[in-house]
Chain A
Amino acid sequence: MATPLHDDICQLVRDPINVAALVHHVRAPEDGAIFTFDGFVRNQSHSRATLYLDYEAYETMALAKMREIAAQLHEKYKIHRVAIAHRLGRLQIGETSVFIAVSAPHRAAAFDACRFAIDTLKRTVPIWKKEYFEDGAVWADGELPPAPAATPHAKPAS
């Protein structure tokens, strides 16, 4: 296995996300800024009171997509380190479901990278949440990831 180019962290966890450890991981003497995104469980959805959420993932693919996002951040922005964690299983109101930390020598790159990371995660990482209410449960509305329309060399069915 190749040595990773960057000392990033991408993880799926079932216990509470250790936010302090992730921030500590990305913080280095040559940096001047860290941006973090803390996504947590809201107490309502479309004006219905939420009881709790269940998250599930296609875990191997989700981790691969999270690592792709981290790699993209290094390509697009002058940043130092990335940490991305997503929690799975049952989450109560107020618990952190996703946490992202990006460090950089200068703030603008970390700011932009953090925004790009959460927007891309929500569009491309195969994770799903089911919302539980007093009177039932629904799979949350999601985004359809961009997928190739057709294989480049596919021939018409014969």
Chain B
Amino acid sequence: MATVSQSISLKVLFFGRLKEIVGHAEESLASTDAATIEQLFALYAARHPELAKFRPSLVASRNQEFAAWDTPLHTGDEVAFLPPVSGG
């Protein structure tokens, strides 16, 4: 790769069973390896292998809007991984 990787700082949030797997609801992350939401999820799935099986049944949000998995990330973004919602 010719591009120079730059570290971006992100706020990452986990809810429901994802929070239980990761062990906490929120963390600040400085990463050079997460250019997209998909890549960010892969970082956590590598750390917590149990997460990977939930990937097909999750949606992600960026800055509190539902976002596609290929959404590019920028420093200061707030990214959340959301299991199927069950309010009501």
Contacts and interface: CB of A to CB of B under 8 A. Distances in A.
Contact of A146 (B13, B66, B72): B66
B32 to A, nearest CB: 16
Interface stretch (A23-31, A74-82, A104-112, A136-144): A136-144
Interface string B33-63: 0000000000000000000000001111100
Nearest to B86: A142
B23 interface: no
Nearest to B88: A122
Interface centre among B61, B64, B67 (most CB of A within 10 A): B64
Interface in A131-156: 139-151, 154
Interface centre among A57, A60, A126 (most CB of B within 10 A): A126
A150 B72 CA distance: 11
A144 B88 contact: no
Contacts of A64: 64
A64 B64 CA distance: 8
B68 A98 contact: no
Interface in B63-88: 64, 66-72, 80, 82-88
A129 interface: yes
Contacts of B60: 147
A146 B59 CA distance: 8
Given A61-B61, A64-B64, A143 B70 contact: no
A133 to B, nearest CB: 16
Listed from nearest, the 5 A-B pairs whose CB atoms lie closest are: A127-B87, A142-B84, A142-B86, A147-B66, A140-B86
